[in-house]
Amino acid sequence: MTQPLKKAIFIDRDGTIILEPADEQIDSLEKLEFVPGVISALRSLTGKGYELVMVSNQDGLGTPSFPEATFHPAHNKMLSILKGEGIEFDAQHIDRSFPHENKPTRKPGTDMLTSYLDGSYDMAASFVIGDRISDLQLAANLGAKGIYLGLPGKDLPAYDLATTDWHEIATHILSQGRTAVVDRTTSETDIHIRVNLDGYGQSAIDTGLKFLDHMLWQIPHHSGIALDVTCKGDLEVDEHHSMEDVAIALGDALINALGDKRGIERYGFVLPMDECRAMVLIDFGGRIDFQWNVPFTREYVGDTPTEMYRHFFHSLCCAMKCNLHIEASGDNNHHLAEAVFKAFARALRMAIRRDPFDYHLPSSKGLL
């Protein structure tokens, strides 16, 4: 079995973890002071699938201008405090050269970090965090995402995020990866679905059924996710295969994007619309139970048969491996269908909401 690629967060020290003094040399315990918010942020990033790697330029370390004896007390105290908070670095890489030496081991050079470039790390999903342009340049050289601990500016190299808030950095990193792509091809349909549960990316929907497209658009609008759906189906036969297979592929994409479900809310929601009332309850508990009570009075709404909406949501429920209870009432069949989709989207929004600083599994059983 192929081993999954590892990921890393490369973190600068001075000015990023601890405040940098005016003389740019932390050579005494009196100068040791943490950047606000860094400890809680690093604690939240620990154990989340990333190796924590310190990468620091320490100009002339070990020379008369910066003796080892003045470096280690403050450095070791910093590590001790972090360890007491449950934070330990998987590796530390410290370059001791002066800037004028232009050594390839010195940031933004990568010679200290060649072990991360052997193909065993997913550098595109890794990060470099620092307060200098050289840190962003290091990110580019590694093929990683750069996070600048400072104010955004047009003179900065390309970056993924620029902020002075460590809480925002941790939230940004922990919000990565809730994406999924599903391609489903049968003799009846050819479907591509991409979802991003945190709303990054554009939405586009084309199933070949205009009213179904209109209904599916309620999901990104009201749940906050990004959703890309294309379906080429055998509509010359009827609508059944397209609607069923879109639901299956969408359910697969949503449950895959949820991953291990840690930190999610899990449950959701009720919604009125004009004269209609729709109730949708979701529980991503890993067990399938589907209930439906939506009394359509017309055979078709737009170009879709109303009987297929029960089958659509049942197929979606099975693919998502969840409890899905849907009940709606009202006089206008268009509004009835739309209220159900809007309520589903709002229920989904509530259930998939994740607090990146609360990474517990929402189950007393310890399993979802």
| Alpha carbons 368 and 360: distance in angstroms, whole number | 11
Q: Are 241 and 233 in contact (CB under 8 A)?
A: yes
pLDDT of residue 135: 97
- pLDDT at position 368: 54
Question: What's the pTM value of the predicted model, to 2 decimals?
Answer: 0.67
Supply the DSSP symbol for 116.
G
What tens digit of pLDDT does each residue of 210-255 get? Answer: 999 999 999 999 999 999 999 999 999 999 999 999 999 999 999 9
Contacts 24+ apart (CB under 8 A), 200-204: 200/226, 201/226, 201/228, 202/226, 202/228, 203/227, 203/228, 204/228, 204/229, 204/230
Q: Which residues pair with 179 in a beta bridge?
A: 196
Q: Regarding predicted confidence, which is higher, 27 or 232?
A: 232
The single-letter code of the amino acid at 175 is S
* 14 among known catalytic residues: yes
> Residue 76's pLDDT band (boundaries 50, 70, 90)?
very high
The C-alpha atoms of residue 96 and residue 99 are separated, in whole angstroms, by 10
Domains of the chain from N-terminus onward: 7-174 (3.40.50.1000), 179-352 (3.30.230.40)
Higher pLDDT, 367 or 235: 235
Average pLDDT over residues 153-161: 89
Tokens matching residue 266:
């899990």
Q: What is the pLDDT of residue 54?
A: 98
- pLDDT tens digits, 308-359: 999 999 999 999 999 999 999 998 999 999 999 999 999 999 888 876 666 5
* Active-site residue, 358 included: no
How many other CB atoms sit within 10 Å of the CB of residue 261? Answer: 19
| Alpha carbon 184 to its chain's center | 24
pLDDT over 90 for what percent of the chain? 77
**Which position among 14, 131, 213, 228 bears the catalytic label?**
14
User: Strands (DSSP E) along 300-362, which ranges?
Assistant: 300-301, 304-305, 323-329
